[in-house]
Structure 1
Amino acid sequence: MKIYLVGGAVRDRLLGLAPGDRDWVVVGATQGEMEAQGFKAVGRDFPVFLHPDTGEEYALARTERKSGRGYRGFVVDADPSVTLEEDLQRRDFTVNAIAQDEDGTLVDPCGGARDLEARVLRHVGPAFSEDPLRVLRAARFMARFASLGFTVAPQTMALMRAMVASGELDTLVPERVWQELRRALASATPSAFLATLRACGALAVVLPEVDALYGVPQRAEYHPEVDTGLHQEMVSDMAARLAPADARIGFAALVHDLGKALTPADVLPKHIGHEHAGVAPVIALCERLKVPLDHRELAVMACREHLNIHRLFELRDATVVELLTRCDAFRRPERIPWLATVCEADKRGRGGQQEADYPQGRTLVRLHQAALQVSAREVVREGMTGVQIGEALQAARVVAVRQQRQTDG
C-alpha cells in the first residue's frame, strides 16, 4: 500500500495559494485492508474512506469506464492492481492530475505542472467528454483562477462545445448545477464562469435566463457598457469584491436584472418595469435549480427593489417603511445589509463606476436601524386591535425614519 496527496491540494501549493482540503489516493489496497486500519467507508459510487484521526478523504486508486449517459453512467474499477498513473489519467484537467508522495516528489504524467506555469486549463484526455459535469467544472475553475491569468486550452474549449452540441448537459441534475454555480459565485471572478459557459454554448442550457441578457442594449448614459450581459458580468464581479465568498449575495446579484431580457424590442434601450418583470424568471430559475430558500428570497427582493433603493433619497418616509416591511426586515433584520450590498454591486458594476460611492446602501441600513428601535410597548395602548397595533407601529417607524433623515442632514 502506498499513499499520495493528489488533486487540488497539490495544485494550489504549486500556485502558492493557501491550502484547502487535502485528498489522498491509496494504491495497492483493498476495502477490507482500509477498514482493518480503522478507515470508515463513505463512498457511494466508488471506494472512499475517512481517516480515523484526521477525517480526511482517502480514495482507492481507480479507473472508470463509460457505461451510459450523464455523469453517473460509469463503471468503476478499484482493484489493487490499478496504478497511480492510471488513476491520474481518469481525472478532468492536467492541473488536477498531479500527485505528491510522502517525500514531496511530484508524479505528473499529464504535464499538469507545465500547464500551471503556462496558466492553461487543459483536459487530460478524450475521456473528458464522457462526463458533462466537467463543462461546469471548467467554468468554475475559471471563476477561481482567471484572476491569475488562466485561460481554457483551445482543444478543451472545442471539446466542451462538442459536448454541449451532443446534448450531454441535458442529463445534469439540478443539484449538481447549483453546486457548481454556488461555488463559482463564491469565487473571485464569477464573470469568468459566465463567459466560459457562454463561449461553449452551455450558458443557454444551464442558465438560459442569464444567457438571454447578452445582446440586450441599455441606455448608454447609465450603462456605458451598453450590453446587459456585460453589465451582469461586471455586477457579479463587483458582488464578489464587496462580499467575498458570499454565494447568497452573489446569486442575488446574478439574477437582479433578468427582467431586461423580457423588454419589448420597440421600448429598448429603456427597461421600464424590468424590476417587476424579472421576478417571475427569478422564481422559475430558483425552482428549476432547487436554490435554497434564503438565496431565493434575497434574489427576489433584490430584483424587485433595486431601483427603489437606487432612488432611496427620493422616497417618502412612509415609502421607505413600506419597502422595509415588504422585505420582512423587522423579523429578518439581517436581510437589509445583504440587500444594500447587492444594490451597491449593481450600481458599481458598470463602466466608469467601479470606484463610485454608494451612500444609498449606508443610508438604507441606518434608516432600517432607526425603525428597528421602535418598540411595540411604546406604541400599544390598552384596547387596541391587531390592525390598530400594526398601524401604530407603522406610524412610529415612519417618524423614526424621518428623525434619522433629519439627523443625517
Structure 2
Amino acid sequence: MQIYKVGGAVRDRLLGKPVTDIDWVVVGATTEEMLALGYRPVGADFPVFLHPKSGEEYALARTERKSGRGYGGFTFHASPEVTLEEDLIRRDLTINAMAEDNQQNLTDPYHGQRDLEDRILRHVSPAFAEDPLRVLRVARFAARYADLGFTVAPQTLELMRQLSESGELQALTAERSWKEISRALMEDQPQVFIQVLRDCDALRVLMPEVDALFGVPQPEVHHPEIDTGIHTLSVLEQSALHKQPLTVRWACLLHDLGKGLTPTEEWPRHIAHEHTGLKLIKAVNERFKAPKDCQELALLVGKYHTHGHRALELKASTLLELLQSFDVYRRPQRFEEFIVACEMDARGRKGLEQRSYPQADYLRGAAKAAREVAVQPLLEKGLKGPELGEALKRERLKALKVYKENA
C-alpha cells in the first residue's frame, strides 16, 4: 500500500499558495484492507474513505470509463492493480494530475509542473472531452489563477468548444452547475470565468441571456465602453474588487439582461429594460436553482437599479415605494446589498471605475429616516390593522419629505 497527496494540494504548494483541502490516493490497497485499518467508507459510486483520526478523504486508485451522458455518466474500476499514473490520467488538467509521497517526491507523468511554470491550463488526455463539467471547472480555474497570468491552452479550449456543441452541457444537473458557477463568481476575477465560457461557446448554451448582451450597444455618454456584454464583465469585476458577497455578484451578472431583448432599431437606448429583463432573470435563477437570497436580490436589482442611479431625483413617494419593495424595516441587509450592486453598476464603466457614488449614502439615509418613524404613538391612538399600516405609511412619507429637504 502506498499513499500519495494529489491534485490541488500539490498544485497550490508548488504555486506557493495556501493549501486548504488535501486529497489522498491509495495505491495497491483493497476495500477490506482500508476497513481493517479503521478507515470509514463514504463513497457511494467508488471507494472513498475517511481517515480514522484526521477525517480527511482517502480514495483508492481507480480508472473510469464513459458510460452515459453528463457528469455522472461514468463507470469506475478500483483495484490494487491500478497504478498511480492510471489514476492521474483520468484527471482534468495537467496541473491537477501530480502526486507526491510523504517525502514530497513528485510524480508528474503529464508535465503538470512545466505547465505551472508556463502558466497554462492544459487537459491531461482526450478523455477530458467526456465530462461536460470540466468546461465549467477550467473556466473557474482560469478565473482563480488569472492574476498569475494563466491562460487556457488552445487545444483545451477547442475540446471545451466541442463539448459545448455536443449537447453534453445540457445533461449537467442544476446543482452541479450552480456549485461551479457560485465558486467561480467568488474568485478574484470572476469576469474571466464568463469570458472563457464565451470563448468556447459554452455561455451561449448555459446562459444565452448573458451571451446575448455582447455586441449590444448602449449610449456612449453613460457607457464609454458601449458594449453591454463588456459592461457586464466590468460590473462583475468591480464586485470582486470590492469583495462583495455572492448575492451581489450574481445580481451584477444578471442586472442588464433586458437589454438583450431591445429591438435593434431602438439601439442604443433601452427603454424599460428593467422590466423586460425580469422574465430572463427569473429563467436563469430557476435554471440553476440559485439560492433564494441570490434569486431575490437579482430580481430586485434588475427591476430597480435605475432607481438607485436616480435616487437623488426621486420623489419622496417613489423613495417610499422603493423602500417598501425591499422591506427595509425587517430586511435592512438586502437593501444594503442593492445599494452596493448599484454602485458596482455605476463603477463598471470604462474610465469611471473610481467615480464617487453619492446615491449610496443618500439611499442609506432615506432608509434610516423611514425606519426611525415610531409605531408606538400610532398604537396609542388606537390604530390597528390596515388603518395602522396606512398611518405608518403617511408618517414615513412625511419623514422622507423632511429628509429630502435637508439632504
TM class by smaller structure: over 0.9
Show the counterpart of 1:263: 262
Any idea what the Cα deviations from partners look like across 1:55-74, whole Å, max 9, x if unmatched? Answer: 22211111111112222111
1:177–1:206 Cα contact (<8 Å) kept: no
Q: Please show how residues 9-408 of structure 1 align to structure 2 within 5 Å.
A: 9-244=9-244, 246-405=245-404
Q: In the TM superposition, what is the alpha-carbon distance from 1:157 to its structure 2 partner?
A: 0.8
Unmatched 5+ stretches in structure 1: none
Report which stretch shifted further, 54-63 or 197-206: 54-63
Report which stretch shifted further, 18-27 or 94-103: 18-27
Rounded to whole Å, the distance in 1 between the matches of 2:35 and 2:374 is 59
Tell me the SS of whatever aligns to 1:90. coil
Q: In the TM superposition, what is the alpha-carbon distance from 1:403 to its structure 2 partner?
A: 4.3
Rounded to whole Å, the distance in 2 between the matches of 1:49 and 1:402 is 64
Rounded to whole Å, the distance in 2 between the matches of 1:20 and 1:272 is 48
Partner amino acid, structure 1, of 2:27: V
Report which stretch shifted further, 158-167 or 58-67: 158-167
1:85–1:109 Cα contact (<8 Å) kept: yes
Report which stretch shifted further, 247-256 or 44-53: 44-53
1:380–1:392 Cα contact (<8 Å) kept: no
Rounded to whole Å, the distance in 2 between the matches of 1:183 and 1:398 is 42
Tell me the SS of whatever aligns to 1:70. coil
Structure 2 vs 1, CA of residues 326 and 4 (structure 1 numbering), >3 Å: closer, same or farther?
Answer: same
Tell me the SS of whatever aligns to 1:380. helix
Structure 2 vs 1, CA of residues 9 and 318 (structure 1 numbering), >3 Å: closer, same or farther?
Answer: same
Q: In the TM superposition, what is the alpha-carbon distance from 1:336 to its structure 2 partner?
A: 1.3
Report which stretch shifted further, 194-203 or 159-168: 159-168
Q: In the TM superposition, what is the alpha-carbon distance from 1:404 to its structure 2 partner?
A: 4.3
Structure 2 vs 1, CA of residues 370 and 47 (structure 1 numbering), >3 Å: closer, same or farther?
Answer: farther
Q: CA RMSD in A?
A: 1.5
Rounded to whole Å, the distance in 2 between the matches of 1:224 and 1:237 is 16
Tell me the SS of whatever aligns to 1:266. helix
Rounded to whole Å, the distance in 1 between the matches of 2:404 and 2:15 is 50
Unmatched 5+ stretches in structure 2: none
Rounded to whole Å, the distance in 1 between the matches of 2:118 and 2:178 is 30
Rounded to whole Å, the distance in 2 between the matches of 1:5 and 1:379 is 67
**Percent of residue pairs identical:** 53
Q: TM-score, normalised by structure 1?
A: 0.96
Rounded to whole Å, the distance in 1 between the matches of 2:317 and 2:44 is 56
Rounded to whole Å, the distance in 1 between the matches of 2:145 and 2:404 is 44
1:214–1:230 Cα contact (<8 Å) kept: yes
Q: In the TM superposition, what is the alpha-carbon distance from 1:374 to its structure 2 partner?
A: 2.5
Rounded to whole Å, the distance in 2 between the matches of 1:364 and 1:55 is 48
Any idea what the Cα deviations from partners look like across 1:71-126, whole Å, max 9, x if unmatched? Answer: 21111011011111111111000011111211112111111111111110000001
Structure 2 vs 1, CA of residues 34 and 396 (structure 1 numbering), >3 Å: closer, same or farther?
Answer: farther
1:24–1:57 Cα contact (<8 Å) kept: yes
Report which stretch shifted further, 224-233 or 61-70: 61-70
Tell me the SS of whatever aligns to 1:188. coil
Q: TM-score, normalised by structure 2?
A: 0.96
Aligned residues: 407
Tell me the SS of whatever aligns to 2:4. strand
